[in-house]
Amino acid sequence: MRQLEKKDSMNKRIDVVLRKFHSRMISYPPGMCPLVLYRSLFQISMNQSCGKCVPCRDGLVEVDRMLHSIIAGMATMETLEEMRRLCQMIAETSDCAVGVTAANLILDSLTEFGDEYVSHINHKRCEGNVTQTIPCITMCPAHVNVPGYISLIAAEDYAGAINIIREKNPLPTACAMVCEHPCEIKCRRGMIDDAINIRGLKKYAVDQVSADSVETPPANVRTGKKIAIVGGGPSGLTAAYFLSLMGHKAVIFDEHEKLGGMLRYGIPEYRLPKKRLDEDIQAILQAGDIEVHCQTKIGKDISFTKLKEEYDAVYLGLGAQIGNRMPMENADAEGVIPAADFLQDVANGRAMDLTGKKVVLIGGGNVAMDAARTAVRLNAETVHVFTRKRDDMTALPSEVEGAMQEGVRFRTLLSFLNIEVDKETGRVSAVWLQPEIVGEYDDLGFVKTEHSSAYPYRFKCDVLILGVGQRSDTAAFEKEGVPAERCRIKADESCIVEGMEGIFSGGDCVTGPSTAINAIAAGQVAAENIDEYLGFHHKIKSIASPAPAMPNNCVPTGRAEIEEVDPFERKTNFDGVELLMTHEEAMREAGRCLRCDHYGCGNMVGGRGE
Amino acid sequence: MKKEQNSINITIDGKELSVKEGTTILQAAEDNGIDIPTLCTYAHVNDIGSCRICMVEIEGYDNMFASCKEIATEGMVIHTDSERITEYRKEMLRLILANHNLDCMSCPANGICSLQALCNRYEVKHSTYQGHRAEFSKKRPKLDSNPYISYDPSKCIHCQRCINVCQRITCNGTLKNSRFGTLHMVDAPFGKDYKKTGCESCGTCAAICPTGALTLKRREHFREWETKRVLTTCPHCATGCQFYLIVKSNQIVNVEPADGPSNHCRLCVKGRSGSFDFVNAPDRLRKPLIKNRETDEFEETTWEEAISYTAKRFMELKEKYGGEALAGFACSRSANEDIYMVQKMVRTCFGSNNVDNCARVCHSATVAGLAKTLGSGAMTNPIYDITHDVDCILLIGSNPEEAHPVVGMQIREAVQNGTRLIVVDPRDITISKDADIHLKLRPGTNVAFANGMMHAMIEEDLIDHDYIRDNTEGFEELKALVAEYTPEKTAEICHIDPDNLREAARMYATAEKAPIIYCLGVTEHSTGTEGVMSMSNMALLCGKLGKSGCGVNPLRGQNNVQGACDMGAQPTDYPGYQKVDNDQVREKFEKAWGVSLSPKPGLKATEVFPAAIEGKIKGLYICGEDPIVSDPDTNHIIHALKSLEFFVVQDLFMTPTAAYADVILPAISYAEKEGTFTNTERRVQRIRKAVTVSGDMRPDTDILIDLMNAMGYPQKYMTPAEIMDEIASVTPSFHGISHERLDAGESLQWPCPEKDHPGTPIMHVGHPTRGKALFYPAAYKPSSELPDEEYPLMLTTGRILYQYNATAMTSRSEGLWDIAGEGFIEVNYRDANRLFIGDGERIIVRSRRGAITATARVGKKVSEGETWMPFHFPDSPVNRLTNAALDEFARIPEYKVCAVKLEKVGDWQEKVL
């Protein structure tokens, strides 16, 4: 008698294990030996052998034995070569992908981590600094003490929580709204159920107590040093905040009417209400000696050389605000607008009325999503997003989902060919799109596409928004000797600009368009290094300390997500879309934190990951 | 329709080749004389690419490919040898060796081990790897509870040949893949519970294991280089498997299959493991024996004395009562040449036609029935033809997996490959679980069943009108008769579902190629001949005769039962079915043999015994049969034998029948003589002398020649080859057959009328042998003894895989006896419940003719009200119960139906019985 698969079959039970383990793979702790990881992965691969063919069945076991001897420091360089040859043989002779990929995994490791292999064999230790650290603190570019502030949220001390955040990041409100929360990626809670909703908890804190009502730490006595900060975005504001707390005078120059940079002029109101951003900025400006010159553009109103002469140090946090246009015919026709410009116009109150208009968006990043959702709110008849492939949707999944809910239409496997313009009006009238077909993967593991044999097709539109990246306005600085390449200032990981005394730079103008928290991290590093450059080692006083850690029962419990306003309702206006987390939810969520600052590697020397 | 195979062009090692589309690279290389080493592959059976030894490089690919499983495609450029390939092959051998128990000295596979040979070829003496399985495997128990086969996991290279052979050649599928943690395991069914695994102990797996993992236990006692091989024919059933006797120092030590036309390298457990123990059995008769009338004890004597005494006594009886009072039985297990001489002796010396063979009790109905309807009483198509590329098999009253195991394997293969199967059998035989339809009919209702099938075919107009018009006669009479056998009425008689019957009729009639295969379930009835004719009626109705994949195919029971009938060991026929009452024929034989012959058809074997009791038969010569065990109603047979004045048995062993003889003449077995057997598909195949057994035994033909001379007939001495030449000279259908042709490698199926005739694989091609085939309308008649109040259950008898007939051969194989050595009776659970009989309980089975004990096997295999017993076992001699009711044409007894009752047994009864 034939049977359907049993409800509790071995395969299904194994799938449950794998599903549960999946998050454990993602939350693989930072600071581990790559060879040990490879051996774990290799063993999984090896154990997938069905046992049919000799190379896979018997060969992989020998590879594992060699790998073990290398990891354990019992092997010689000959072993390494022998292992390479055996893997090569297995990869070339295996019958199916199980053997081939297992052997290739190790061959790849030899290319990627050759230095680590040599270190194991010759030095009997791991290469470099490989110490396990607290995942959230490590993964946050600004290294905010996440377990610390969550502990205070759990203790309902929201002001304390804000101050712990401020030890590394003076923009808790903005980050509570828009941070991409890399801190959550490897959250250890993922080993049990799912990452803590760290951003959600932060938002809960700033929703309970506004940042501007929470006193900042006392600033140091004045040092008499003056530092010019070009750009009032997240990076510049952060640098200004820390420098002023160290007793220096921070002078911010910004070409816009108000401070905030992309947080104000790039991120739409419905994601980050300007009122809430002002709470952070207000608190920063109150912290110490900060002077602000808005609507002042370097190179036009003041020269860079003058800044260099008049200030003890200069920090360039220009951001990347110029929307790219594609180098093609009609790219500047009427009705064609870069996403950044489009968003900035809206932020400045110069929004165009899109009623009855067909809008096409090219690009799949967060800026493109912001533009698309903004276009929806401007009453566009239709909004289409065209990308080559799903991988091109680099925006946060929640952003894409939000756009879809609000009626944005997504099409993939279409590449952008050209812009058609109405000859009489000069306005954009259509885009031409080339159907694509998926092809091989690139080196980073993303699928590539190529033109399919299908004919291109014409898609009518009234407005074309180009979400294809932004660049920095570096011309004035380059002219005066600041090294840059393709509109990016050349600065190192210490934010020191190559070959220029006293000039520091960080954020989007160095890295290209990125996230607020990366800009904040740069401002923080730059501030400390400027202090150091000026010959000081100023400390900033902590005015809050984490609550004592309590043991956790680790009962698998769901992650509290932030719910949003009904899409049909929210798309009619620019009001904030996120609903408030309830007290009950916030407390339960905060209670899920495993306090890795107390348990595990967090309380050993070097284990915090800052 | 099969697609025409195109040729494609490929290049191997620089040679441009044209090969058939669909060929593997390995095959293409082999066909063109390019050597690619292999280890795990076994063409068309195991092509899984496990060992990677046969790997090759294909231009355009970085990886290497196992040539055994890669299909060559147009333009492919292949390299079979390079430095890299050689090094990688060595690596494979090193990896295998690292996981192999290197106990080569005492390994039974030493000398035939493929791994050993490859390591020698590639100069791999030891492994550089540590391995991970060897130590673990050594700790696993050797599975060796099966008496013949053992599995040593430490020698297993996990090539899966055994698994695929079990799956695809024997099609039994009891060897399986399994897993233990990360390890692949071979689930070999040779452990303690081996009897429950479904394994048929055929040993095919052990024979193709490339190492010493799966071995026949007897391999421990010889090495390949010590032996010689003798090609011969299996002495068991009539499949006629070809095999080699492996001989070491005049002892048969093993059997290995040959690629014979009916077996293609398959063998069953009896063929492989039950074909030689008896040859050298210690209880072989080694001296002629004469019974001392006073002491009733046998006394050893000389051949001269035995021959002259026997001749004298027969001639005295002939003088006193006439030749009609003498009879002789040939044996359907002997060689054609032996049988020919027996009938010649009876006809020339006894002067009667009272000669018969044991086909009388198995397939005489076939011989009579098919001769009557088709003009020839033999299987119409070859085994291969009816089991390969056919659409539907109608299997009636045949349990090939037990009785013709190698045919069974091929039917299973056909079913596995998509052939539909209709099983008509009263029992849930193993193959019925794979049948599209199983008609579990009431024993003894075959004629009704066939009539019902034909009714349905005619009703739905599924019949072949052209064939009926051009090639048959009697259709209208048949149509009139079957008109009343509506499926509903038939179903009532047969205890089946009328819809199933209709479906079976449609399935058989509409199939393009559909053979009827039947066996003793059709013949062994008091209406056996009509049953057989009903089979031919069905085939004729659908025009399924005289073409490939069709026909009426009786599976004959014994190795040479076909030959025994062909050779004229029949009271009505000279060799080649030439009738004794035909004057022209008789004159021909009188001229050939130089004596005058009796024109009167003789008594059939089953008539000889009653005649002996009546005093009409006084002297009997039995060559190698054991009717006390094999014939129905044992007490009746004993009574008959006791009534004889003189009784001679020529045999290998002191059988129960021989015990009643006056003279016993020790003969030799198939392994000690030259000759031929004719298998069920009319194929005449050689047996060859492999060993000489010590003792005074003599070849049957020599004994018979001496006897004939002693009885006054001047029979010149002839070798078996010369005897075959004489057979050919007097038998038109054997005219072209000779040992010479067979030894030259020809395989001949009679009719073979000329020296250059290739034989006749399929009979009745063009038109039936009879000219126009006859529809014989047969009405259903109930069996002669049906259950009643006193004897409420029906008993059917049959055979099992592990034993053979009266067990003269198989009982000398200890292993077979270990696997299955106890008589049993299958009882339906409902009857058992009613009678308070438990599974495994020893019970009494009683019929009107006697009572025996047997172990009850309670289940659903037989239907309620029916029971089934094998007839092999001396502890349950079922023929004490069976009914000697005879068929009116063939005088075949009704083994398949008699009435019995079951009783619980007490200690005192066990002792008495």
Measure CA of the first residue to CA of the last residue in chain A; give whole Å. 62
Q: Which two tokens stand for residue B740?
A: 């010479």
Taking the CA atoms of residue A190, residue A193, residue A195 and residue A198 in that order, the dihedral angle to the nearest 10 degrees is -140
Got the DSSP string for A164-193?
HHHTT-S-HHHHHHH---GGGTT-GGGGTS
Architecture per CATH, domain B793-912, reads as Beta Barrel (2.40)
Q: B233 in helix, strand or coil?
A: strand
At B909 the pLDDT is: 56
- Name chain A contacts of B87, Cβ cutoff 8 Å: 89
Alpha-carbon distance values, A163 to A166, A215, A216 (Å): 5, 8, 7
Query: Percent of chain B having pLDDT more than 90?
Result: 78
pLDDT tens per residue across span B54-69:
999 999 999 999 999 9
Smallest Cα distance from B52 to chain A, Å: 7
In angstroms, rounded to a whole number, what is the distance separating the alpha carbons of residues A317 and A400?
A: 29
Q: A148 in helix, strand or coil?
A: helix
Q: Do A62 and B130 touch (CB under 8 A)?
A: yes
A58 touches B at CB < 8 Å: yes
pLDDT tens per residue across span B169-181:
999 999 999 988 8
Q: Which of B62, B64, B182 has its CB closest to that of A47?
A: B182
- Name chain B contacts of A89, Cβ cutoff 8 Å: 87-88, 91
> 3-state DSSP helix/strand/coil percent for chain B, to nearest 5?
35, 20, 45
Q: List the Cα angle B589/B593/B599 in 5-degree steps.
A: 45
Q: Global pTM?
A: 0.86
Q: Do A92 and B52 touch (CB under 8 A)?
A: no
At B3 the pLDDT is: 47
Q: Do A49 and B63 touch (CB under 8 A)?
A: no
Smallest Cα distance from B81 to chain A, Å: 14
Smallest Cα distance from B625 to chain A, Å: 45
Smallest Cα distance from A89 to chain B, Å: 7
Q: Which of A91, A93, A100 has its CB closest to that of B52?
A: A93
In angstroms, rounded to a whole number, what is the distance separating the alpha carbons of residues B75 and B84?
A: 23
- Name chain B contacts of A46, Cβ cutoff 8 Å: 182
Q: B394 in helix, strand or coil?
A: strand
In angstroms, rounded to a whole number, what is the distance separating the alpha carbons of residues B764 and B769?
A: 5
B66 touches A at CB < 8 Å: yes
Q: Do B130 and A100 touch (CB under 8 A)?
A: no
Q: Do A49 and B158 touch (CB under 8 A)?
A: no
Q: Do B98 and A62 touch (CB under 8 A)?
A: yes
Which of A561, A565, A552, A550 minimizes the C-alpha distance to A586?
A561
Q: Which of A46, A54, A65 has its CB closest to that of B50?
A: A54
B461 touches A at CB < 8 Å: no
Residue-range domain boundaries for chain B: 7-81, 103-273, 289-362+560-674+692-721, 380-554, 793-912
- Name chain B contacts of A91, Cβ cutoff 8 Å: 63
- If one counts every other C-beta atom within 10 angstroms of the C-beta of residue A460, the result is 12
pLDDT tens per residue across span B357-388:
888 778 888 888 888 899 888 899 999 999 99
Class of CATH domain B103-273: alpha beta
Q: Which residue of B has its CA nearest to A46?
A: B182
- Name chain A contacts of B64, Cβ cutoff 8 Å: 92-93
- Name chain B contacts of A49, Cβ cutoff 8 Å: 182
Architecture per CATH, domain B7-81, reads as Roll (3.10)
How big is the A-B interface in CB pairs under 8 Å? Answer: 69
Domains in chain A with CATH codes = 32-123 (1.20.1440.230), 135-215+548-603 (1.10.1060), 226-321+472-533 (3.50.50.60), 323-470 (3.50.50.60)
In angstroms, rounded to a whole number, what is the distance separating the alpha carbons of residues A87 and A107?
A: 7
Query: What residues in chain B have per-residue pLDDT under 70?
Result: 1-5, 907-913
- Name chain B contacts of A50, Cβ cutoff 8 Å: 184
Q: Do A54 and B52 touch (CB under 8 A)?
A: yes
- Name chain A contacts of B133, Cβ cutoff 8 Å: 58
Q: Do B184 and A95 touch (CB under 8 A)?
A: no
Q: Do A52 and B50 touch (CB under 8 A)?
A: yes
Q: Which residue of B has its CA nearest to A93?
A: B64
A residues 274..293 contacting B (CB < 8 A): none
Architecture per CATH, domain B289-362+560-674+692-721, reads as 3-Layer(aba) Sandwich (3.40)
Peptide bond into B751 cis (omega under 30): yes
Query: What residues in chain A have per-residue pLDDT under 50?
Result: none
At B426 the pLDDT is: 94
Q: Long-range contact list for A547-551, CB < 8 A, 24+ apart?
A: A547/A151, A547/A152, A547/A154, A547/A155, A547/A157, A548/A151, A549/A147, A549/A151, A549/A595, A549/A597, A549/A598, A549/A599, A550/A595
B178 touches A at CB < 8 Å: no
Average pLDDT for chain B: 92
A81 touches B at CB < 8 Å: no
- Name chain B contacts of A83, Cβ cutoff 8 Å: none
Q: Classify domain B380-554 at the CATH superfamily level.
A: Dimethylsulfoxide Reductase, domain 2 (3.40.228.10)
Alpha helices, DSSP H only, in B619-694? 627-630, 634-643
Residue in B99, B129, B133 to test binding to A, most A beta-carbons within 10 Å: B129
- Name chain B contacts of A95, Cβ cutoff 8 Å: 49, 52, 66
At A393 the pLDDT is: 83
Residue in A67, A84, A92, A93 to test binding to B, most B beta-carbons within 10 Å: A93
Which of B885, B893, B874, B748 minimizes the C-alpha distance to B811?
B874
Q: What are phi and psi of B136, to 5 degrees?
A: -60, -45
Residue B683 amino acid letter: R
At B760 the pLDDT is: 94
Which of B334, B344, B345, B500 minimizes the C-alpha distance to B423?
B500
- Name chain B contacts of A55, Cβ cutoff 8 Å: 52, 91-92, 95
Packing angle of the helix pair A60-71, A34-46 (nearest 10 deg): 160
Burial class (CB in 10 A: 0-12, 13-18, 19+), A596: buried
